[in-house]
Amino acid sequence: MNRNNYDDIIDLPRHVSKVHPQMSISDRAAQFAPFSALTGYKDAIIEVDRYTQEFIELDDSEKEVIGQKLYILNEHKKENIQIEITYFEPDKKKKGGIYKKVQSVFKCYDELKDMIVLENNVKILVKYIIELKSDIFEN
């Protein structure tokens, strides 16, 4: 494109309408923003791509070991026992979830809700616990 083609209008002031109010800069910028024809489509794609893991059900002997460790922890709960728990956290939006590891002091075992409560107020359902570690189990 040759600039000479616009020499006659290049220095003219911008047209200002007498009928319509002048558009703000942000509204003008929105005129050139990307267009998303399907509202929420991008979020849906991100959600589908988000990685989740499958829950691994422990067998009866592994559940029994967890139960024995819970009994020991509950017997010594006033001793501020440091524990490390590996557990499954179900995803709230889709099937599966993620495995997490947390270290804290054991506070109590809530038998009614079948959950462990830690000093940092993390609550973990026993059915999702994969592994319990503590120095108290070494003795």
Averaged pLDDT of the chain = 87
| DSSP characters over 74-125 | HHTGGG--EEEEEEEEE-SSSS-EEEEEEEEEEEEEETTTTEEEETT--EEE
- In the chain, domain spans: 60-137
Report the relative pairing of strands 129-133 and 97-110 from DSSP bridges: unpaired
Best CA proximity match to 135, nearest among 74, 69, 65: 69
> pLDDT digit string (tens) for 60-114?
999 999 999 999 999 998 999 999 999 999 988 888 999 999 999 999 999 999 9
What is the token pair recorded at 74? 């509950």
pTM for this one? 0.65
- Each residue's pLDDT tens digit, 15-71: 888 888 888 888 888 777 776 667 777 777 777 677 889 999 999 999 999 999 999
- Evaluate whether the domain defined by 60-137 bears CATH number 1.20.120: no
